[in-house]
Amino acid sequence: MKIAIVILNWNGQQLLEQFLPSVVTHSAEADIYVADNASTDDSLGFIQKNFPEVRCIRNNENGGYAKGYNDALKHVDADVFCLLNSDVEVTSDWLNAIKKEYTTCPNTAIIQPKILDFKNKTHFEYAGAAGGFVDKYGYAYCRGRIFDTIEADHGQYNATAPIFWASGACFFITKSVFEKLGGFDERYFAHYEEIDLCWRAFNEGFITKSVGQSSVYHLGGATLNNMHPKKTFLNFRNSLFTLTKNAKGPLFQLIVTRLILDGIAGLQFLWQFKFSHFIAILRAHFSFYSHLTYLLKQRKGLLQRDNYYKTTSIVWAYFIKKRKTFNC
């Protein structure tokens, strides 16, 4: 099995200086690429000088995560792609369990390892934790992280298990499945594009898993922290995109319910005097409406499957029933 680790970079020389050494040291059995999204710093010069074994791919523009990887992976020859954030520290045997899972279970298409917090290594990291799910209305949550409640890692998610979506921070996918699905939807730019891809994979019958015997440490927020209004905009808009394209069922009812729940979230931001986030939700909805024709056309051309959610409403479970952990 040939694995290619592809790190997307945009003006991230400092992150590469800090995190690339662990990838090079602990990934001898893989080819390593840095896909550069038209950086203006000296990222590529740093790599060529210090890590000549790392191959560089130059994208013509900063198309974000989605287009950046779509463009770069056309130039990568491998059986399995590992899409790795530039702010991830890997561990000494991180690839072994992943390779074993692909070898013993050839029907597995997408994998993520256990993702822990680089700044607090006893706890899971926000972006993916031990593997993700969505509720009926498209809100994402994880084993080990529901909204802002993050669990300590006590080995409770060490077993390999099916999940609904894998985190884009460390995302393994077979080349054949990536190409069959047509890659990422480039209209997303960033955030939720991996959930959309995993949802499309689920609808096509492919399997996504978390492999807890492999672990990495993610800094998180290096490009856009969790409380930046732009991230709020992208998360709300792109989750609506994903729900509209992929969810089976009465779409009008799903979307109306989501709009009501998003409105409540916006009012909460107002109550907290986070006006920029309230405006970000409004902008997300207007952008969603402007893309509706495209989304409905996409929906018509895609498969949809039942049973995509474990929990009807994670909002209700978390805020009303006070269920703060995945296994509660």
pLDDT tens for residues 125-175? 999 999 999 999 999 999 999 999 999 999 999 999 999 999 999 999 999
Report which residue type is found at 193: E
Q: Which secondary structure element, helix H or strand E, spans residue 309, and what is its range?
A: none
* φ/ψ of residue 262, rounded to 5: -65, -35
Q: Is the pLDDT of residue 222 over 70?
A: no
Q: Is the pLDDT of residue 221 over 90?
A: no
Domain 3-218 grouped into CATH 3.90.550.10: yes
- 127: three-class secondary structure by DSSP: coil
pLDDT at 327: 75
Token pair for 113: 């390892």
8 A C-beta contact, residue 208 and residue 252: no
Task: Kindly calculate the radius of gyration of the chain based on its CA atoms and give it in whole angstroms.
Answer: 19
pLDDT at 223: 57
- Closest listed residue to residue 68, CA positions, set 168, 164, 198: 168
User: Model confidence at 226, in pLDDT bands (50, 70, 90)?
Assistant: low
Q: Which secondary structure element, helix H or strand E, spans residue 19, and what is its range?
A: helix 13-25
Report which residue type is found at 155: G
Cα 1 from Cα 13, distance rounded (Å)? 30
Q: Is the pLDDT of residue 19 over 90?
A: yes
Domains of the chain: which residue ranges?
A: 3-218, 229-320
* φ/ψ of residue 18, rounded to 5: -80, -40
CA atoms 212, 213, 217, 218: torsion sign: negative
